[in-house]
Structure 1
Amino acid sequence: MKKYRLIIMLSFLVTILTLLFLSLIPSQKAVVFTKEDSGEIVAYLPLQEKQSFEIIYTHSIHKTKVIETYVCKQQKLKQIALTYHDPAVGMPANAGPGEKLVIKDGIYTISNMKRTFPFIDMRIGRVRANHRIGYVGKVYQLKRFFRPGSWVRMSVQSLNKVQQLKGVKING
């Protein structure tokens, strides 16, 4: 009888350790928002492979919509497009080398961008910026997850189950 109990307890212990180990293996690629540069995960947006997402905001000077389009490539953010209404202060007047600028109905779109970033720091707008993230046809207001005026760092990470439990899933 003691031998039987020992086998059951060892099996239980092995099962628990296996589950614990599996929960620490990174399994979900996501756009992760951390509090400043602390590494503390506040929120994350799970991504499917090769899916693009957008950061959408209202420009503080022009008061027009700006859309920055990104994909995640090799744990980096790669900007692939920029759409805006006014090439004045803070916005490009032309495309860079290898990029393409199209102006249609007063809207400027730069495509074929290949700018990569390990992370992007941003301040969540207090008044008019209304920062949003667009993904697979849905748009989520970032002020629902972050205090307006706060500094967040956006990066690409592979999250394990424990990290996913610590942050707020944006599209969930």
Structure 2
Amino acid sequence: MKFYQNKKVLFVAILFIIIVVLLLFVPFRTAVVFYKENTNHIEAFLPIDEKDTFQIIFKHSIHLTDVVEKYQVLGNHEIKQYEIVYEHFGIGMPSNAQEGETFVFEDGKYHVKNLDNIFPYMNVRNGKTVSENRLVWGVDNEHMVYFNKYFKPGAWFKIKVENLSTWQFLKGVRIRE
């Protein structure tokens, strides 16, 4: 009888350990992850759901005006750029739309809409000279943080959408407003 009870206790202990390992280390929560340069080191992450949108706003280094790049998280964890908004033509800014896109002037800004640029990841640099990059997210884009709150000016990182485990969530730097 004692042998049977020891087996039962051992079985429960092993089952408990398996459950804890699964809960801690199996990736399950989607996030926009900012990796330091070309490493696996997570600098920060933004929890997000599939089909949610986010924006990266940067200050154009010549015109010193905001450029808004709008993105959506796709079901396969790719990132779709669907719009860009800016105030001045110039270096790096499109002067019209490609086939299937729409180019409009609204509220004093140029919009290139219906973009279908798909990325498995993006390399992004935090501004060094003009360091006013921002991350915007939420249902009505109600949340915004400056990159400088999380990243050094001039730093660059790879942005990917991935599932993170509870352990990664606990030890990582979660982006919050």
Correspondence for 1:95: 97
Q: CA deviation at 1:89?
A: 1.4
Q: 1:130 aligns with which of 123, 129, 132?
A: 132
| CA distance in 2 between partners of 1:161 and 1:90 (Å) | 39
Q: Give unpaired runs (5+ residues) of structure 1.
A: none
Aligned residue type for 2:28: S
CA contact (8 A) 1:41 1:166 kept: no
Correspondence for 1:80: 82
Correspondence for 2:57: 56
Correspondence for 1:16: 17
Which deviates the most, 84-93 or 19-28?
19-28
Q: Secondary structure at the match of 2:115?
A: coil
Correspondence for 2:165: 160
Q: 1:116 aligns with which of 115, 118, 123?
A: 118
Deviations 1:21-69 (A, max 9, x none): 2322221111110000112111111112311100011111110001100
| CA distance in 2 between partners of 1:40 and 1:2 (Å) | 49
CA contact (8 A) 2:83 2:114 kept: yes
Which deviates the most, 5-14 or 99-108?
5-14
Q: Secondary structure at the match of 1:115?
A: strand
Deviations 1:91-120 (A, max 9, x none): 001111110011024300111000011111
Correspondence for 1:29: 30
Q: CA deviation at 1:9?
A: 4.1
Aligned residue type for 1:94: N
Which deviates the most, 78-87 or 152-161?
152-161
Correspondence for 2:44: 43
Aligned residue type for 1:71: Q
| CA distance in 1 between partners of 2:153 and 2:92 (Å) | 21
Q: 1:169 aligns with which of 150, 160, 174?
A: 174
CA contact (8 A) 1:60 1:129 kept: no
Aligned residue type for 1:86: H
Correspondence for 1:104: 106
Which deviates the most, 132-141 or 154-163?
154-163
Q: Please, what is the CA RMSD of the aligned residues?
A: 1.7
